[in-house]
A and B are shown apart, each in its own frame.
Chain A
Amino acid sequence: MSDPKWQPRIVAFFCNWCTYTAADLAGVSRFKYASNVRVIRLMCSGRVDPQFILDALAEGADGVLIGGCHLGDCHYSEGNYKTVRRFQMLQRLLHDMGIEEQRVRLEWISASEGERVKTVINDMVEQVRALGPLNLPQHRAEWDRETAHPAETALPAEAAGGVQLAGQRAQPEVAHA
């Protein structure tokens, strides 16, 4: 896609105790970095379900960044070990599914490394920018053009209480303005 206005969209999952706090510190220190990363706070990088990463990519993220405490420093003592193990397999899976490893990154950033938040995010944004858009939703749309009518289930389904269930989700609305 040769859209000059294209900006990478990166979803980040930061652990509450180290990386999220480091990002706060980066803010307090007024370090300036790229605005492409959207942070989702979890208590521990161990909470990062591989489904979250696949979903983020499937829903239109060009990259996913996971931030946790350094190995040995996990607030829950072992959580980040689970993360790094899952991560290694996920990387192979993504590779086999045609998604470049550099789109998904795992970084250990301790609560005091505010500056590292800046460097890691800037670095990753540039990395992903160089790779170009992933944009799986658009790919799916292209794939499905060959079916006569779009599948009914591709429309948003309403669940009880007027609440969308995560399971059957609409395509993300595209950029305003």
Chain B
Amino acid sequence: MNTNHKNGEVRIGFYICHCGHNIAGMVDCPAVAQFIAKLPGVAVSRDYKYMCSDPGQELIQQDIREHKLNRIVVASCSPLLHEHTFRNAVAAGGLNPFFFQMVNIREHDSWVHTDRAEATAKAKALAHAAVSRVRFHRALETTRVSINPDVLVVGGGIAGIHAALTVANSGKKVFLVERDPSIGGHMAQFDKTFPTLDCAACILTPKMSAVRSHENITLWTYSEVVKVEGYVGNYKVTVKRRPRYVNEDLCAGCMECITACVFKEGKFPDEFNAGLSKRKPIYIPFAQAVPPVVVIDPERCLQVRTGKCKKTCIEACADRHAMDFSQKEELVEIQVGNIIVATGFKLFDAKRIPQYGYGQFPNVVTALELERLVNSSGPTAGEIVLRDGRRPKSVGMILCVGSRDVKTNRWCSRTCCMHSMKLAQLVREHTDADVTVFYMDIRAPGKGYEEFYDKSLKEGIQFVRGRVAEVTDWAMAPEEEGKMVIRVEDTLAGFVRRIPVDMIVLAAGMEPQADAQAVRRMFNMSCGTEGWFLEKHPKLAPVSTFTDGVFIAGCCQGPKDIPDSVAQAGAAAAEAMALADKGYIEQEPNTAYIIEADCSGCKSCVPLCPYTAITFDEAKQKAQINGALCKGCGTCVASCPSGSIGQNLFEDEEIFSEIEGVLAYV
């Protein structure tokens, strides 16, 4: 089984792709073709401008027919890009698609080398290896894995909401899991949205309630995914549902329990209002919360903490009986075929830049806090006021707080320029304060964004180009008394300025969620060095990950604004739906197998398999591999001390001949 095919002579067709100038510019393709033509078993050896084009593929099929080829090697780009294309071409030519081997001479050669002779030599070596290897290829059948049509969406921000609705509208079941008591995410906290200045609530709330009422969506708030097992099409996911001590189905959101709570006043920082207002231990996250039911904060509620409380809330709820202190944390297991991860971002902690005085000066606020201040449903009912209640006469906005800075985060958070300009306009709208924006560059790349910048300028908002050095209350001149002074080098004027203001708004950037690493391990995704989830291909697979059936959308993949998040969410939904509608996925047949006659039953391989695909058959006294469970890592193959395990597509002799091949030519 693991020896080479016995059916007659090997007739190899070799094709090297110019890829326009991408390869031909650095590799002498005809020379490689001539070199390969001399190797034993090679019947055809050609170079061609674009192998992936239709004529290129047709060329292969034609040669298979005319020259009775039974092995094909294509030297072009990365197999991760076009292996499938060419396998299909080979199959269309009437050969088993696995009589094919690809050579990566673009990403691994022409694009990374500068000496034509060296690059050509390397191409010859790699091609030689593939030609030696392909001799040993055998006909293989792909196995089909059926796809469970249900989809899990993790994260109930705008991205998660949009993805869930899109999938649900296609008639598939969706589980939407959100960590907080309500869906809505950061967008729910915003007042208006750039560049159109339409109110965030007005466009978000309908989608939120649509989620709640949608027959295909199971919404689990106050819940977290804790375990993911299985593989594409067949994921088994464990969700932890935290008790909110209120029966979601019975609660009507009348909030009488809140009024009745033994805490007469709100006492604890209100998360939704970014801590600018206080809430009780029993509360409703915000007016338009979905689900619109109260939740109890277990750290704060007397009854939960001590069991000693008058439980006035229960009285208030009366015969509705929605209060339920007997609720316990529960683990629910669900089966889904695809997963969309939309876990969003975390705001940069402005305290990490002490010279900007956040946490030291009461009137230094973050952009998100200002959002709540300008919001009519916010703590000040839309009044922009200082902590002492006065109205600010002057407001300074500092951009790139924590972004584009080697000391904190190097990346641009992409939304802060627009976000700050939006807030600047709102401040002008709500007050008569002067607004000065301190920026390094204004980045307004988007439909209607540059126009929005112009509008800001026209509305008399001051722009000072320079990285702010510090915020201080050290006054040098009378007009600075009682104000905060922004010290900055105005790089356009070319000198250091001191600008006194009443309020300072920090455009804190975006960061990966604190638990991003744990989350990505759970879903078997990769992370970029900065901690954002890594897409499979930045251009061609922007919402896919390296794990089939797991997609990403929104800011967990990188900073982006609402339009981009929604677009990505739609894309992720479409990817999941495509898989679900197809109903199955063809799996690479790279599984390992045990040659039963050869196995001595030493059991060395059994503990090595992370998927418990290897078991020991006591009756036969041999190990055996369950092909359905095997993921094809090949660890057991490398470990079998008597060489009795093979791996399709990666047989020992295939790799040995590859080694020989790459070394055969310097």
Judging by beta carbons under 8 Å apart, are B10 and A35 in contact? no
Known: A28-B107, A52-B659. A35 touches B80 (CB 8 A): no
Contacts of B107 in A (CB 8 A): 23-24, 26-28
Of B81, B526, B647, B666, chain A has the most CB atoms within 10 Å of the CB of B666
Contacts of A113 in B (CB 8 A): 529
* Interface assignment of B126: CB less than 8 Å from any CB of chain A: yes
Interface residues on chain A, size class? 35 or more
Tell me what chain A mostly uses at the interface: helix, strand, loop, or mixed.
loop
Known: A82-B639, A112-B527. A73 touches B108 (CB 8 A): no
B598 to chain A, nearest CB (A): 15
Known: A111-B534, A112-B534. A38 touches B122 (CB 8 A): yes
Judging by beta carbons under 8 Å apart, are A77 and B610 in contact? yes
Contacts of A175 in B (CB 8 A): 665-666
CB nearest neighbor in A for B653: A166
CB nearest neighbor in B for A28: B107
The number of A-B residue pairs with CB atoms under 8 Å apart is 178
Judging by beta carbons under 8 Å apart, are B546 and A173 in contact? no
Known: A111-B534, A161-B6. A47 touches B608 (CB 8 A): no
B82 to chain A, nearest CB (A): 12
Interface residues on chain B, size class? 35 or more
**For chain B residues 524-579, which have a beta carbon within 8 Å of chain A?**
524, 526-529, 534, 538, 546-547
A87 to chain B, nearest CB (A): 12
Known: A28-B107, A35-B115, A112-B529. A44 touches B633 (CB 8 A): yes
Judging by beta carbons under 8 Å apart, are A38 and B4 in contact? no
Known: A73-B526, A82-B608. A21 touches B665 (CB 8 A): no
Q: How far, in whole Å, are A157 and B185 apart by their CA atoms in the complex?
A: 69
Contacts of B657 in A (CB 8 A): 164, 166
* Interface assignment of B453: CB less than 8 Å from any CB of chain A: no
* Interface assignment of B584: CB less than 8 Å from any CB of chain A: no
Which of B8, B122, B659 is within 8 Å of A11, CB to CB?
A: B659
Q: How far, in whole Å, are A177 and B122 apart by their CA atoms in the complex?
A: 13
Q: How far, in whole Å, are A75 and B660 apart by their CA atoms in the complex?
A: 28
Q: How far, in whole Å, are A119 and B112 apart by their CA atoms in the complex?
A: 12
Judging by beta carbons under 8 Å apart, are B639 and A42 in contact? no
Which of B9, B635, B665 is within 8 Å of A162, CB to CB?
A: B9
CB nearest neighbor in A for B657: A166
* Interface assignment of B121: CB less than 8 Å from any CB of chain A: yes
Chosen A-B contacts, 9 in total, with CB atoms closer than 8 Å, are A40-B659, A55-B656, A55-B659, A56-B663, A160-B6, A163-B136, A166-B660, A174-B666, A176-B35
Q: A35-B113, A47-B634, A55-B659 are in contact. List 20 more A-B contacts (CB 8 A).
A: A21-B546, A24-B80, A28-B538, A35-B121, A38-B663, A39-B108, A39-B126, A43-B634, A44-B635, A52-B656, A52-B659, A59-B663, A61-B663, A76-B631, A110-B527, A160-B6, A161-B9, A163-B10, A172-B660, A174-B666
Interface residues of A (CB under 8 A from B): 7, 9, 11, 16-18, 20-21, 23-24, 26-28, 30-33, 35, 38-44, 46-52, 55-56, 59-61, 72-73, 75-79, 82, 110-113, 118, 159-166, 169, 172-176
Interface residues of B (CB under 8 A from A): 4-6, 8-10, 35, 40-41, 78-81, 104, 106-109, 111-115, 118-119, 121-122, 125-126, 129, 135-136, 521, 524, 526-529, 534, 538, 546-547, 590, 608, 610-611, 631-635, 637-639, 647, 650, 652-653, 655-660, 662-666
